[in-house]
């Protein structure tokens, strides 16, 4: 099943994500993923998400603010504190 583009708010910034869901109506556990440091969701995280979905998990793959399709200026700003906030927002 193809992923759906979704967004979530992280401290006033829009973070963009792919949401993968297995082909079932049952409630499933979800795995939240993002690249380390400056990577984006398009950098092969999709391959991992597809494997997890094939095993019955849902998967949320997101871009940190300042990276990929998420909001934030300046672009490519590596800010660990912000990335930790983005993780908390993605999980919530």
- pTM given for the model: 0.91
Residues 6+ apart with CB under 8 A from 56: 22, 24, 28
90: enclosing H helix or E strand: helix 80-91
Spans of all domains in the chain:
4-85
DSSP strands (E only) in 23-76 = 30-33, 58-62
Is 6 in contact with 39 (CB distance < 8 Å)?
no
What is the CATH number assigned to the segment(s) 4-85? Answer: 3.40.50.1820
pLDDT for 39 equals 84
Report which of residues 56 and 44 the model is more confident about.
56
- Rounded to an integer, what distance in angstroms lies between the CA atom of residue 26 and that of residue 48? 21
Question: Percentage of the chain surpassing pLDDT 70?
Answer: 100
pLDDT for 29 equals 97
């Amino acid at each position: 099943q193809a992923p759906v583009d979704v967004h979530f708010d992280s401290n006033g910034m829009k973070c963009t994500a792919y949401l993968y869901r297995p082909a079932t109506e049952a409630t499933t556990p979800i795995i939240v993923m993002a690249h380390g440091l400056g990577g984006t969701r398009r950098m092969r995280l999709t391959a991992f998400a597809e494997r997890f979905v094939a095993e019955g998990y849902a998967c949320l793959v997101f871009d940190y603010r300042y990276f990929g399709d998420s909001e934030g200026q300046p672009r490519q700003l590596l800010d660990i504190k912000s990335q930790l906030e983005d993780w908390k927002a993605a999980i919530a």
